[in-house]
Amino acid sequence: MWSIWLNTLGIQEAIAYCYNHWEIALTMMFGSIIAGGTSIGGGAVAFPVFTKLLNVSPHDAKVFSLAIQSVGMSAASVAIWVTRIRVEWRTIIWASIGGAFGIWIGLAFFSHFFPPDMIKMSFTMMIASLPFSLIMSGKKRQYYLQVNNWSFIERVIFFFTGLLGGIMSSLVGNGIDILTFSVMVLLFRISEKVATPTSVVLMAINAVIGFTLQVFFIKDFTDPALSYWLAAVPVVVIGAPLGAMFCSLLRRQTIVNILIGLILIELLTSLLIITLRVTIISVSLIIFILFYLLNYWMYYTDIYAIKYLKIGTVK
């Protein structure tokens, strides 16, 4: 990637992009590590820094997020494959099919329909409903390495999870990763050590599709977003794979704790940067309650109990 980047731009111009947008590259140094090592994506770092500190418009921040993840998450996916980190490939396939439809629907019909602050707060409330279920899920039950009972129902579940996640990714730059992670961990009881790299590979595929649509069909890849992207490319192709490999060394409970911390940061920064109008508060509460009830149901249901799944020994 460095060779392509340097040969395409030329050494002087490539260095100029990094120099002129050093704050973007620095932000994505941390954001890419988080993106490669967790299911929440680098948006937990990038979006609040871009919009609050660097005065980047929410639209450009969203476009940039899809664009840079198409590179960084792809690099992380290569690292996951080369180092043989375990993933659930069937989940990736079916959620990717749903995600492709979802991100196209979102970019074509929804991206200009809802106000950016409402979209961002809705996403925040969606993932803010997750920590309690994650804390509870670490107790009193075993975890598994794969879904062995793979029938039509499981395909439908992951297809529609990908569809909803793809729509969310088209609106805020990520979403399919955390949604699929939640379904795998809470409903199918897959270990976070498998669900996390699975969500990273899935987000890479979704980001590549979204970025392609953004550039060639929607034609909404603005010059500022392009400049930010060119400055961040050489950073994320290193940071995201490092994050993926670092995550593979952690215990599953440590991964949960990191994820909960990132969700709390996402919640806090959203409350600080978004003006809480009555409409936003009302919609956010509805989103929070709906997803909290869904997560609660997935945690307590016995549909995918031990008799359906192969027990794993992931610490």
Listed range (64-73, 80-89, 134-143, 288-297) with the worst mean pLDDT: 134-143
pLDDT greater than 50 at residue 294: yes
Phi and psi at 59, nearest 5°, equal -65, -50
CA separation (Å) from 11 to 8, 22, 108, 234, 239?
A: 9, 16, 37, 12, 21
Average pLDDT, whole number, for the chain? 85
Looking up tokens 């307590």, which residue turns up?
Answer: 300
Give every CB contact of residue 223 below 8 A, 6+ residues apart in sequence: none
What is the pLDDT averaged over residues 243-250? 85
Per-residue burial over 9-25, b if 16 or more Cβ lie within 10 Å, else e, is eeeeebeebbeebeebb
What does pTM read for this prediction?
Answer: 0.88
pLDDT over threshold 70, residue 238: yes
Structure tokens at 302: 């016995």
Dihedral of CA atoms 236, 238, 243, 246 in degrees, nearest 10, equals: 180
At 78 the pLDDT is 93
pLDDT at residue 314 tops 80: no
pLDDT at 311 over 50: no
Q: How far is Cα 188 from Cα 303, in angstroms, rounded to an integer?
A: 9
Spatial CA neighbour of 291 closest among 178, 170, 197: 178
